[in-house]
Amino acid sequence: MSSKEIKRTERTRVRRIPKRGAYDRASVYQILDEGFICHVGFTVDEKTFVIPTGYARIGDNLLIHGSAASRMMREMTSGIEVCVTVTLIDGLVLARSAFHHSMNYRSVVVFGTAELVENETEKYEALRLFTEHIVPQRWDDVRPPTAKELKATTVLRLPIQEASAKVRTGNPVDDEADYDLNIWAGVIPVQLKTGEAFDDGKLKENVSVPSYVSNYKRGENKQR
């Protein structure tokens, strides 16, 4: 892994409330490893698109995958600049005034140019990482991708060289005069919660729920 600090640029520098900015890889990677969905922003023919998609991280690279027929994937392989964002919501912040309502959140922005993963071994490993990012230990149980499925999938590698995180925590920040108002203020915690897994209707009778499914919890992925 490269240096602990990501070099700040004009695009990644947090200007609105700078104290909430974080540029160390540990902070950036913790957020990326906990999230499920990233939003990829790019411009083609003077039209801007923002597309949600799945991702995974390995070392200092973000991996994005999609159908080989996807316009987004085709355009990204042409060397265009992209902006990838991931956001986690931790709480709803209710202030005494409407103006100061907010959210506790953790977010990451990554700028750069993606590279096509062409090596079949690397591509196969990327698909394993996508699966393990969603549900750790799942890959060893499933049927691996066929050659046809690998061909139908595009994998892109985005180096995490220009990125930053922004984090808000804590209580509402009201105007000093508003603290005397008889209005409740505080934080409603927000968590991603999973329910009890249920069987596919076509599941064979002798197949039981794996422990990594019945005990599944998010936010415990280890950095790679």
CATH class belonging to 18-214: mainly beta
pLDDT above 60 (res 164): yes
pLDDT above 60 (res 95): yes
Q: Which of 57-61, 71-75, 98-102, 105-109 has the lowest mean pLDDT?
A: 71-75
Written as one letter, the residue type at 184 is W
Residue with tokens 């991996």: 63
Q: What is the pTM of this model?
A: 0.89
Say whether 34 sits in a helix, a strand or coil. Answer: helix
> Residue 224 has what pLDDT?
42
Which residues partner with 101 through β-bridges?
none
pLDDT above 70 (res 221): no
Region 20-27 average pLDDT: 93
pLDDT above 80 (res 87): yes
Q: What does residue 59 show for φ and ψ, rounded to 5 degrees?
A: 60, -130
Confidence grade of residue 219 (pLDDT, cut at 50, 70, 90):
low
pLDDT above 70 (res 2): no
pLDDT above 90 (res 34): yes
Say whether 136 sits in a helix, a strand or coil. Answer: coil
pLDDT above 90 (res 70): no
> Residue 218 has what pLDDT?
78
Written as one letter, the residue type at 46 is E
Confidence grade of residue 17 (pLDDT, cut at 50, 70, 90):
confident
123-157 pLDDT tens trace: 999 999 999 999 999 999 999 999 999 999 999 99
Residue 100 near residue 174 (C-beta atoms within 8 A): yes
Which residues partner with 166 through β-bridges?
21, 107
